[in-house]
Amino acid sequence: MGQSLRIRTYNILPLVFIHLTHLMSSTFGKPKASTTFLPPKLQNLHLAYRLRDDPSAIKLASSDYGNIVKEIPAAVLYPTSINDIASLIKFADSNNASAPFNIAARGQGHSVHGQAMARNGVVVNMNSLKNNRNGNGVKVVSSAAVSSMGRWYADVGGEQLWVDVLNATLEHGLAPVSWTDYLYLTVGGTLSNAGISGQTFRYGPQISNVYEMDVITGKGDFVTCSPKKNTDVFYAVLGGLGQFGIIVRARIALQSAPKRVKWVRMLYNDFSAFARDQEHLISISGRVDEQKYMIAVDYLEGLLLMNHGPLDHWRTSFFPSKDHFRISSLITKYGIIYCLEIAKYYDDSTLNSVDEELQVLFQMLSFIPGYTFEKDFSYADFLTRVAQIEDQQIRVHESSQGRQWDDNLHPWLNLFLPKSHISDFNSGVFKDIVLKRNITTGLVLVYPMNRNKWDDRMSAVTPDEDVFYTVGFLHSSGFDSSLEMLDVQNKDILQFCYNASIKVKKYLPNYKTKEEWKNLHFGMKWETFQERKAQFDPKMILSPGQRIFNNN
């Protein structure tokens, strides 16, 4: 039988659906047609009946949080075990076809440019694996005496959500040290990128807090790796954008969990003071002042406050409604107000000193007098703050296949840029492009990190300077017309960086050609990245949606 025949065990897509997809283009949310078919021998595998191509499965796998790219796979695998994933990859790798079908792992689909899609290939629905773990996806080792490593950790399935890791570890009075702002993401997904948030300046990204992993490589091999065992796989996969293997288990570092959090925001009208205070705070690591106060912060981020649109994001989140008028007046006067956001963790032993420590911190900073705002949260509520706001403001719901997102378009742009150019970026982007065009919707984040908390042996890419900033334009749009304007703005921001010789790196990157990946993103790391691809995924099967080695 020829390779053009569909696997008979599939549910066949209705002909009208196939016809319609042939009429649609690939941009701005319109799906591409599936024009190739999977090898018929795939039906002989034990996992064939777990492959689906019904409209429901295909629709979910051909979309993501961005709602910008649509790529239709030939089928979706709903694995019940790790062996299902390994068998699929090994079959694709051993298939004699000149162009083997591609495979992409899909966690929660929180990418914004189709990175977890596989046009004409197979998408692995990792949520199915989570559903078949029977609640055993997170194993916490809370006794140093029990742990062979002499330290606390959690063994976590790559398909598990960080919020589930939080809940499981808190039962033991423990928690991971590094987080993302949004916890309804899979462990394997964030570790394939980096995983950053307000704790990164102190503990490094999530990829810097992994002791060990189980990975299924692009050859279908099951490999246990760590800094001491199969190190080449370990460092390749962390931050590797899914190019070398699928993470099916990660051993995550834990520490004692605090009970509560003092969450504070302070407002600035001067960017230089804002940046100077941020950089000073991330330089303090557990330092005690003359009065024996612990003056370090546990979390630090920053954001822009602007009066853009009828529902300014800052109005609906942190600030008391009674203060909205005076904050809005401040924004109207200056155009942009810079908000420094910090948090200090505390428990029973530090209950009596945490407020005094904050007062010592305030005396070191140059925010606008009278514009400090404070909340007191439980540790769990603080870490899940973004999900609570998002669930209130947009249409998000859970299903057996994973989290379903709203219909808005999210043309996000996330950047890493060197400290030496952050003032130039403020003048040329924040105060010019963003403020004058007045089209930015959603949060704009800006905060610094310490490069010495990142491991350069990993695949993740950062600027070369000791301190660099992350800037995130977290746009949300309900219309194609505004999407096009935001897309132009994103391109103009990147063009400004190029013209100003700012060696910016994209976080959660998307490029269209191998040359762009080589020259604009990886730079000196490209040769190593390419060698690792040849070693662990020589047929270039995994994660085609990244468009690094195949312009899919």
Q: Which residues are catalytic?
A: 110, 181, 301
**CB 505, CB 415: distance < 8 Å:** yes
**CB 237, CB 100: distance < 8 Å:** no
CA distance 16 to 293: 69
Altogether, the residues listed in the chain come to a count of 552
CA 396 to chain centre: 18
228-233 contacts: CB < 8 A, separation 24 or more? 232/532, 232/535, 233/536
For residue 469 the two structure tokens come to 């900033």
What is the DSSP code (8-state) at residue 548? S
DSSP per residue over 478-494, as a string?
SSHHHHHHHHHHHHHHH
For residue 216 the two structure tokens come to 């299924």
> Within 13 A of 544's CA, how many CA atoms are on the CB side?
23
CA distance 489 to 1: 51
**CB 119, CB 32: distance < 8 Å:** yes
Nearest CA to 175 among 195, 193, 154?
Answer: 154
Q: CA-CA distances (angstroms) from residue 94 to 243, 248, 400?
A: 18, 21, 32
Instruction: Tell me how many degrees the CA angle 445-446-447 measures, rounded to the nearest 5.
Output: 125
CA distance 378 to 149: 30
β-strand 413-418 against 467-474: which pairing, if any? antiparallel
What is the SS3 assignment for 15?
helix
**CB 243, CB 219: distance < 8 Å:** no
For residue 294 the two structure tokens come to 């612990």
In 332-422 the beta strands, taken as DSSP E runs, fall at 337-346, 372-378, 397-399, 402-404, 413-418
Nearest CA to 75 among 100, 97, 55, 45?
Answer: 55
What is the CB neighbour count within 10 angstroms for residue 115?
Answer: 26
Nearest CA to 521 among 547, 502, 503?
Answer: 503
CA distance 183 to 163: 5
